[in-house]
């Protein structure tokens, strides 16, 4: 009896999964490179994050936790603009969606954030590191 023919060509859905995996791996490497660029501005958020007035979201962006002074709101906007630019650059270079890139960076932000930082999950729940 002859064996069924096996094709090594991935199906369209497997091809998409493979491409996303490759983009994710590339982004992880890129995350290390861009981490230094974002780290300096993120450090400015350390004290407000520990105090609980600034949190981090699941998508890689900082967020106010309640009312805050205009200068701190401006700092959050500045940090998020820097992050958005890095995420967009990585998305463009890898072909991955920008939200996927933001989530990869969110994992890096979680690792480097000081203890006491609040994180907002996709489920809308706040958890403290």
pLDDT in tens, 110-126: 999 999 999 999 999 99
Contact by Cβ (8 Å): 102, 89: no
> Residue 113 falls within a domain, yes or no?
yes
CA nearest neighbour of 94 among 8, 1, 3, 24: 24
> Residue 4 falls within a domain, yes or no?
no
Q: Does residue 8 surpass a pLDDT of 50?
A: no
pLDDT at 7: 41
Whole-number Å distance between alpha carbons of 59 and 110: 11
Contact by Cβ (8 Å): 24, 108: no
Model confidence, pTM: 0.71
> Residue 88 falls within a domain, yes or no?
yes
> Residue 5 falls within a domain, yes or no?
no
> Residue 107 falls within a domain, yes or no?
yes
Q: Does residue 31 surpass a pLDDT of 60?
A: no
**What are the helix (H) ranges across the chain?**
12-43, 46-51, 70-94, 98-112
CA nearest neighbour of 75 among 43, 104, 35: 43
Retrieve residue 15's tokens: 């091809």
* Confidence class for position 44, pLDDT limits 50, 70, 90: confident
> Residue 64 falls within a domain, yes or no?
yes
> Residue 1 falls within a domain, yes or no?
no
| Number of folded domains that form the chain | 1
Give the model confidence (pLDDT) of 90-103 as tens digits.
Answer: 999 999 999 999 99
Retrieve residue 84's tokens: 């958005």
Give the model confidence (pLDDT) of 68-82 as tens digits.
Answer: 899 999 999 999 999
Whole-number Å distance between alpha carbons of 44 and 114: 12
* Confidence class for position 86, pLDDT limits 50, 70, 90: very high
Residues of the domain holding 47 = 12-128
> Residue 55 falls within a domain, yes or no?
yes
pLDDT at 4: 47
Q: Does residue 13 surpass a pLDDT of 60?
A: no
């Amino acid at each position: 009896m002859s064996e069924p023919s096996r094709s090594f060509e991935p199906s369209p859905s497997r091809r998409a999964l493979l491409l996303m995996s490759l983009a994710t791996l590339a982004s992880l490497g890129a995350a290390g490179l861009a981490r230094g660029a974002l780290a300096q501005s993120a450090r400015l958020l350390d004290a407000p994050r520990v105090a609980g007035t600034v949190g981090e979201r699941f998508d890689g962006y900082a967020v106010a936790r309640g009312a805050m002074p205009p200068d701190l709101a401006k700092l959050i906007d500045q940090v998020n603009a820097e992050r958005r630019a890095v995420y967009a650059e990585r998305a463009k270079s890898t072909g991955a969606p920008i939200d996927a890139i933001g989530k990869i960076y969110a994992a890096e932000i979680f690792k480097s954030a000081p203890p006491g930082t609040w994180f907002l999950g996709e489920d809308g729940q706040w958890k403290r590191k």
